[in-house]
Structure 1
Amino acid sequence: MKLGKVEFCHFLQIIALFLCLSGMNQAELSKSRSKPYFQSGRPRTKRSWVWNQFFVLEEYMGTDPLYVGKLHSDVDKGDGSIKYILSGEGASSIFIIDENTGDIHATKRLDREEQAYYTLRAQALDRLTNKPVEPESEFVIKIQDINDNEPKFLDGPYTAGVPEMSPVGTSVVQVTATDADDPTYGNSARVVYSILQGQPYFSVEPKTGIIKTALPNMDREAKDQYLLVIQAKDMVGQNGGLSGTTSVTVTLTDVNDNPPRFPRRSYQYNVPESLPVASVVARIKAADADVGPNAEMEYKIVDGDGLGVFKISVDKDTQEGIITIQKELDFEAKTSYTLRIEAANKHVDSHFQSLGPFSDMTTVKIIVEDVDEPPVFTSRLYSMVVSEAAKVGTIIGTVAAHDPDVSNSPVRYSIDRNTDLERYFNIDANTGVITTAKSLDRETNAVHNITVLAMESQNPAQIGRGYVAITILDINDNAPEFAMEYETTVCENAQPGQVIQKISAVDKDDPPSGHQFYFSLTAEAANNHNFTLQDNKDNTASVLTRRNGFRRQEQSVFYLPIFIVDSGSPSLSSTNTLTIRVCDCDADGIAQTCNAEAYILPAGLSTGALIAILACVLTLLVLVLLIVTMRRRKKEPLIFDEERDIRENIVRYDDEGGGEEDTEAFDMAALRNLNIIRDTKTRRDVTPEIQFLSRPTFKSIPDNVIFREFIWERLKEADVDPCAPPYDSLQTYAFEGNGSVAESLSSLDSISSNSDQNYDYLSDWGPRFKRLADMYGTGPDSFYS
């Protein structure tokens, strides 16, 4: 059976170790020359264990238990009276002992990397008494290492960087491999490093694992990344050793070793002359093989006739040179410009300056193209002045514009009416003379800003704009007036010479030297005995009293006309009336009331009397409200039915009667027969004041009595009848008296026949009808209908 290199190596190690240690793994108990430990009658000295350390190879692959060693005591005579026992780490589970012979075997495969040694305790016992014949002793079983672990790169894979153009031997990175085998025994854990991939650019030191550059002048621009494979092998790299690998990615970092270069020696761009200032004319870029800060550029115009017209800046994102206009272009003035532009790196490595200058030059030619331009005014802003007293048609000023093109087309002028909505001004279309078109008022608008349009006659689409500011000069055309509406009061107890108001004036005009106002009383008010005016000479005046004893009941308001003159040329004046109210004031002169109506009441009526009168009036009003409320409550229905809507119904019988034919419509005997006894029915919704148990039989009595009794009976029946209509309905009864000649329902004939029929019952029943009318919500006349 063939064995591999590793297995064969292991086999050789096991054989050699077994031969070397076979004599050492016999642990014997040598006899001491002292006295026996157990002897009847005489003590003997303790015997001691004598052996060397046990060794066991790891990773044993056999099927039989692996022999470790033998324990033996010199007390043991070989007759089986001594037995051996084992305790401690792995006893009985990993290591077993033959209690008769003392042979120790390992029953499981051992791994040194899991546990390098085991500590156990051994005893020799008398088999009969089970007592120790030797003291317990401790020994160690050490696991002998074999090369069963390959080196491992625990931190791999690696990444590293090194500057390009680095010299040979520049350190890049250090790799480290670890081996789990025993570094103190043999070469199983002794590792050496080698490079499997990455030559000839890099190398690795065998013992330290430091990777270094192996070639000079490695250029990032040619190749910027390398992949290395590093091997670590134990057994000092000898045949049969185990190995492990890792990868290392090495990136060449950039250095500024490439100068910028323009792709072309010259550039040409065409731009229209109408291009506004700050517009971009062109973008140019110098190429640089470097990256990052090493590729950052600076551009500048070093020469040419466009130094003051153009400028160049750098775009930080693209590293392009951006050429822009600094001044307006004019084809009629200059048709082309030439620029010499330099591009240079911002960050230059002095180590590479020997390679040459890190800059480059190029030429840029800019051709100006002619365009049809609008007319141009001789000034961007015209300032003009005119008096607000100027008449219509007055010339204010002149504007001028011309066509800047070679054609020099004639120009026509107009005013942009969006800036002159009221059309205060006109302009001559040919000459540009501006005149007034309406009367001006400085107080309405002190400055007019208008826009004048100038258009080419040959191309009206070309329009130029000029701006005119027209200032209106002020004239004295507004009279002064009170600065505010004054509320002036004078106390009844005011003393002569007391200042009651300080006044000032305003004027809409704006004289250059400022306002100066003069105050005085009008001629008709100058000699009044109540008030006087004092000019304070500071554009204010004070109103003073000339007497005392002002009384509201005599005069509650005074009107004082004040004359105000300004200092204009010519001066203007106005008369303003100051209203002064007489008030009742406290001791500090603060007005309490200025109401003069209280004095219209009769003299001698005090405040207490007024309060008493007001109290009486309020009491009467409360009484009236109470009476009205009570009357309304009396009119409310006494019964509260759930179906309240039926209370608005009126039961009314309005039959005129048809004479004899009425007897065919209904039985009149029911009305005439008053002797019919009706059952007394009690209403359920109210409790009647009187319960009528029975009714007496009517006899032949006069009609007035009969009618009275008839009504009375109907009332009592309505009171006690639960089926009677609600209170807010009306019941009408027609009754024919006994004295009727025609035996009809009408009693007019009885009245005309001078009958002695007494109708006084109507007056007796008046109050009752009134009560019924109030109860049912209708007038008493309804009961006679």
Structure 2
Amino acid sequence: PKMKEDSCLHAALICLGMLCYSHALSTEKLNHLRPSLHGHHEKGKEGQVLHRSKRGWVWNQFFVIEEYTGPDPVLVGRLHSDIDSGDGNIKYILSGEGAGIIFVIDDKSGNIHATKTLDREERAQYTLTAQAVDRNTNRPLEPPSEFIVKVQDINDNPPEFLHENYHANVPERSNVGTSVIQVTASDADDPTYGNSAKLVYSILEGQPYFSVEAQTGIIRTALPNMDREAKEEYHVVIQAKDMGGHMGGLSGTTKVTITLTDVNDNPPKFPQSVYQMSISEASIPGEEVGRLKAKDPDIGENGLVTYSIIDGDGVEMFEITTDYETQEGVVKLKKLLDFETKKSYSLKVEAANVHIDPKFISNGPFKDTVTVKVAVEDADEPPIFLAPNYILEVQENAAAGAVVGRVHAKDPDAANSAIRYSIDRHTDLERYFSINPEDGYIKTIKTLDREEIAWHNISVFATEVHNRHQEAKVPVAIKVLDVNDNAPKFASTYEAFICENTQSNQPFITITADDKDDAANGPRFIFSLPPEIIHNPNFTLRDNRDNTVSILVRRGGFSRQKQDLYLLPIVISDGGVPPMSSTNTLTIRVCGCDSNGSLLSCNAEAYILNAGLSTGALIAILACIVILLVIVVLFVTLKRQKKEPLIVFEEEDVRENIITYDDEGGGEEDTEAFDIATLQNPDGINGFIPRKDIKPEYQYMPRPGLRPAPNSVDVDDFINTRIQEADNDPTAPPYDSIQIYGYEGRGSVAGSLSSLESATTDSDLDYDYLQNWGPRFKKLADLYGSKDTFDDDS
């Protein structure tokens, strides 16, 4: 109610002022237009008379208050013309923005009223046009006049902040007055009229830590050395009030959450002054001993801590690393421990920040130290060999039981348990060695051969007697020492070639040797010829003194016809103790060569220098071979000449070879039961009978006097014609035998009863002529005088 009273009073004062202003303006316009009202004339250029139109409009009011809620329409203003005598003949018309809807006019008096409540924030002014016309004729009495109606603002909108909630950060320990954030509010009222939009900021919550500037809304720190570790987050409420902050103004608020960000203002601190740790002497380097942690209330990179060992008698035995996930210092073993040597160690550990803020260095060092005591615990340790590995030697060919060497281990514990030794048989599968379990002496079980295996690598276990789980393992390498037990030999198989016209004292091949023994037993090879052929007239040796020998021709003029192969024995000796030697044979072939010395041909007749064959023996062997070949040729020839008779002369033989079958024949391969050659014409004996087993080299053409037999029902004529052709053509297969008949006679229902139509190359006979069976074979038998007969089935 108080606000509404103030608004009404304010509106009344505005209306009074507007009335005075409107009256003064109307009077001024009337004075300005007065000459035209009385019809005065003015001369223009060149004597032209100008007439000024008479204007006599009066505006009593230009403003209307927004948010008016009275019972009657509010009077906005009045239109009046000087020519209006008050008799009602003038009609006032209003047009433009809102005319007839928001603004209405009394066409007689010219009073304009607002019929609706107006909102300046929605629309600040309206442009209207007024006109005076004759009521009877609607003739314009005055030109149209445009005027503006402004909506007068009142304080009806409270301030509003851009955000309902603000979030801001400020470093801890900031100086007083450090800017945190600026908040901004806006007021929808008219900022150009009165104080409706004049805002003032104030802090409602958040004292005494923060303050706000009244005009700008900037929030600043109000207390020094605010500590994040004490309180990290603050909630501040800011108010914005219009009317310059005076009573009656409207206001709005917003919340600001301010977080103190961390700075490195705290050094790390150990919660205790001494840490106790322990570790077994059996631990290996890298094992963790224990952990310690220095607390730093700072966060992020300001709270990162690094650890280091700066002093103590365990600096060489231990090390410390930083676990950055847990911010702990991890103490680890660096070297092997020995309880019997030293039972405890002391370390001085320092914790320091990784990142240091220079502003707070004056507060003191950002580090802390602590003492760490490490106790070494006794453990049952495995045996320890006196050497990390052993290299032993033994002579090859040594008898079984020869001593190779000794390994030795001891128990490092105070109990000093007895040790037992054994060989890892996975490293000695052939069981070449044995070991004495009491003293560790290694011996051979069998004879060793250096040329077979020069090094033996085995492993030996040492185990405590009282605790079989405590054992150690050591590698043992056994070298087999060489003994000169291998004679040198040719490095490869050598074969030499010499020309028949070779010159004397010329080397034609160089020989090298190889010895399986060590170089100490054969530093240089000695080459020589056996004593029995040392003075042979053909070849000689020349030792090159570099473990090679050159073979020389002692004479010239070799002949392949006399001897084309020489076997030269060469003795090779080494320089070992005792020396070893062997005899190796070099094969030398005599070859024919051209004038340039290039090989043309070589024979393979062997000739042993110290035991050759005589020429007579070679001729005798050759004669035996020739006789044997003649016998073989004669045997083959006689075998070929033996053959079957081409014609069977005896009649009983023919009958015996014609057999009656009561079943299906065996097909084209069945040639044993019936010899078709018996059907040959006996009359052919006196004439020319070609060989049955040899095919003629050329074919005879049929004699011109013979004509082919027609396909006639007269079987006799057909057969006689074929017989006559066969008698006169000795080349027709099967050479003077019954010919092929392609004629199918009458009365043969079964046709061909076997696979005689198929051809084969396994026999000299052609079976195609057996196609027609039955009556035709019977006719043929009668023709050739056979006493046996054929039935249709046969």
Scaled by the length of structure 2, the TM-score of the pair is 0.64
Q: For residue 283 of structure 1, report the CA deviation from its aligned partner.
A: 0.9
SS in 2 for 1:10: helix
Q: Write the mapping of 1:609-620 to structure 2, written as runs, cut at 5 A.
A: none
Measure, in 1, the Cα distance between the counterparts of 2:11 and 2:454.
Answer: 120
Q: Against the structure 1 CA distance between its residues 523 and 147, is the aligned structure 2 distance closer, same or farther, given a 3 Å change threshold?
A: farther
Q: Which position in structure 1 is the counterpart of 2:632?
A: none
Q: Does 1:380 align with 2:388?
A: yes
CA contact (8 A) 1:160 1:173 kept: yes
**Which amino acid in structure 1 is aligned with residue 18 of structure 2?**
L
Q: Does 1:46 align with 2:36?
A: no
CA contact (8 A) 2:317 2:334 kept: yes
Q: Against the structure 1 CA distance between its residues 522 and 783, is the aligned structure 2 distance closer, same or farther, given a 3 Å change threshold?
A: farther
Q: Does 1:262 align with 2:270?
A: yes
**Which amino acid in structure 2 is aligned with residue 33 of structure 1?**
P
Q: Against the structure 1 CA distance between its residues 386 and 718, is the aligned structure 2 distance closer, same or farther, given a 3 Å change threshold?
A: closer
Q: Which position in structure 2 is the counterpart of 1:13?
A: 10
SS in 1 for 2:16: helix
**Which amino acid in structure 2 is aligned with residue 188 of structure 1?**
S
Q: Write the mapping of 1:473-492 to structure 2, written as runs, cut at 5 A.
A: 473-474=481-482
**Which amino acid in structure 2 is aligned with residue 45 of structure 1?**
R
Measure, in 2, the Cα distance between the counterparts of 1:112 and 1:502.
Answer: 127
CA contact (8 A) 2:591 2:599 kept: no
Q: For residue 286 of structure 1, report the CA deviation from its aligned partner.
A: 2.0
Q: Which position in structure 1 is the counterpart of 2:367?
A: 359
Q: For residue 233 of structure 1, report the CA deviation from its aligned partner.
A: 1.4
Q: Against the structure 1 CA distance between its residues 402 and 107, is the aligned structure 2 distance closer, same or farther, given a 3 Å change threshold?
A: same
Q: Which position in structure 2 is the counterpart of 1:299?
A: 307
Q: Write the mapping of 1:177-576 to structure 2, written as runs, cut at 5 A.
A: 177-349=185-357, 351-353=359-361, 355-442=363-450, 444-474=452-482, 511=519, 570=579, 575=584
Measure, in 1, the Cα distance between the counterparts of 2:410 and 2:525.
Answer: 52
Measure, in 2, the Cα distance between the counterparts of 1:502 and 1:424.
Answer: 42
CA contact (8 A) 2:90 2:132 kept: no
Q: Does 1:141 align with 2:143?
A: no
Unpaired runs of 5+ in structure 2?
42-47, 605-661, 666-709, 714-743, 758-770
Offset from partner CA, 1:359-402 (integer Å, 9 cap, x none): 33333222222222221111222233444454433333222111
CA contact (8 A) 1:76 1:82 kept: no
Measure, in 2, the Cα distance between the counterparts of 1:590 and 1:155.
Answer: 112
CA contact (8 A) 2:592 2:599 kept: no
CA contact (8 A) 1:482 1:506 kept: yes
SS in 1 for 2:35: coil
Q: Against the structure 1 CA distance between its residues 81 and 334, is the aligned structure 2 distance closer, same or farther, given a 3 Å change threshold?
A: same
Scaled by the length of structure 1, the TM-score of the pair is 0.65
Deviates more, 1:401-410 or 1:431-440: 431-440
Q: For residue 183 of structure 1, report the CA deviation from its aligned partner.
A: 1.6
CA contact (8 A) 2:94 2:128 kept: no
Q: Does 1:34 align with 2:40?
A: no
CA contact (8 A) 1:339 1:364 kept: yes
Q: For residue 512 of structure 1, report the CA deviation from its aligned partner.
A: 7.4
Measure, in 1, the Cα distance between the counterparts of 2:250 and 2:219.
Answer: 21
Measure, in 1, the Cα distance between the counterparts of 2:335 and 2:354.
Answer: 28
SS in 1 for 2:13: helix
Q: Which position in structure 2 is the counterpart of 1:114?
A: 122
Q: Which of 64, 73, 77 lines up with 1:56 in the alignment?
A: 64
Q: For residue 577 of structure 1, report the CA deviation from its aligned partner.
A: 7.5
Q: Against the structure 1 CA distance between its residues 240 and 535, is the aligned structure 2 distance closer, same or farther, given a 3 Å change threshold?
A: farther
Measure, in 2, the Cα distance between the counterparts of 1:541 and 1:56.
Answer: 140
Q: For residue 16 of structure 1, report the CA deviation from its aligned partner.
A: 2.6
CA contact (8 A) 2:559 2:590 kept: no
Q: For residue 120 of structure 1, report the CA deviation from its aligned partner.
A: 4.0
Offset from partner CA, 1:3-42 (integer Å, 9 cap, x none): 363x44433333332222234457867444237699xx99
SS in 1 for 2:161: coil
Measure, in 2, the Cα distance between the counterparts of 1:269 and 1:395.
Answer: 50
Q: Against the structure 1 CA distance between its residues 243 and 99, is the aligned structure 2 distance closer, same or farther, given a 3 Å change threshold?
A: same
Unpaired runs of 5+ in structure 1?
597-650, 655-688, 693-710, 736-757, 767-779
Offset from partner CA, 1:94-130 (integer Å, 9 cap, x none): 4444555444444444333333333444444556666
Q: Write the mapping of 1:140-179 to structure 2, written as runs, cut at 5 A.
A: 140-179=148-187
CA contact (8 A) 1:557 1:582 kept: no
CA contact (8 A) 1:374 1:463 kept: yes
Q: Identity percentage over the alignment? A: 49
Q: Against the structure 1 CA distance between its residues 576 and 253, is the aligned structure 2 distance closer, same or farther, given a 3 Å change threshold?
A: farther
Q: Which position in structure 2 is the counterpart of 1:670?
A: none
Measure, in 1, the Cα distance between the counterparts of 2:589 and 2:116.
Answer: 129
Q: Which position in structure 2 is the counterpart of 1:714?
A: 747
Q: Which position in structure 2 is the counterpart of 1:774?
A: none
CA contact (8 A) 1:515 1:567 kept: yes
Measure, in 1, the Cα distance between the counterparts of 2:420 and 2:203.
Answer: 90
Q: Against the structure 1 CA distance between its residues 72 and 462, is the aligned structure 2 distance closer, same or farther, given a 3 Å change threshold?
A: same
Q: Which position in structure 2 is the counterpart of 1:80?
A: 89
Measure, in 1, the Cα distance between the counterparts of 2:552 and 2:103.
Answer: 134
Deviates more, 1:372-381 or 1:119-128: 119-128
SS in 1 for 2:7: helix
Q: Against the structure 1 CA distance between its residues 433 and 18, is the aligned structure 2 distance closer, same or farther, given a 3 Å change threshold?
A: same
Measure, in 1, the Cα distance between the counterparts of 2:94 and 2:365.
Answer: 91
Q: For residue 314 of structure 1, report the CA deviation from its aligned partner.
A: 2.1
Equivalences, count: 634
Offset from partner CA, 1:215-237 (integer Å, 9 cap, x none): 33322222211111111111122
Q: Against the structure 1 CA distance between its residues 466 and 75, is the aligned structure 2 distance closer, same or farther, given a 3 Å change threshold?
A: same
Q: For residue 273 of structure 1, report the CA deviation from its aligned partner.
A: 1.6
Q: Which position in structure 2 is the counterpart of 1:776?
A: none
Measure, in 2, the Cα distance between the counterparts of 1:341 and 1:512.
Answer: 63
Measure, in 2, the Cα distance between the counterparts of 1:130 and 1:550.
Answer: 162
Q: Against the structure 1 CA distance between its residues 432 and 57, is the aligned structure 2 distance closer, same or farther, given a 3 Å change threshold?
A: same
SS in 2 for 1:34: helix
Q: Against the structure 1 CA distance between its residues 558 and 63, is the aligned structure 2 distance closer, same or farther, given a 3 Å change threshold?
A: farther
Measure, in 2, the Cα distance between the counterparts of 1:534 and 1:107.
Answer: 147
Q: Does 1:67 align with 2:75?
A: yes
Measure, in 1, the Cα distance between the counterparts of 2:132 and 2:521.
Answer: 137
SS in 2 for 1:14: helix
Measure, in 1, the Cα distance between the counterparts of 2:511 and 2:466.
Answer: 66
Measure, in 2, the Cα distance between the counterparts of 1:578 and 1:80.
Answer: 162
CA contact (8 A) 2:565 2:587 kept: no
Q: Against the structure 1 CA distance between its residues 212 and 42, is the aligned structure 2 distance closer, same or farther, given a 3 Å change threshold?
A: closer
SS in 1 for 2:160: coil
Q: For residue 469 of structure 1, report the CA deviation from its aligned partner.
A: 2.7
**Which amino acid in structure 2 is aligned with residue 400 of structure 1?**
H
Q: Against the structure 1 CA distance between its residues 133 and 511, is the aligned structure 2 distance closer, same or farther, given a 3 Å change threshold?
A: farther
Measure, in 2, the Cα distance between the counterparts of 1:550 and 1:143.
Answer: 148
CA contact (8 A) 1:456 1:462 kept: yes
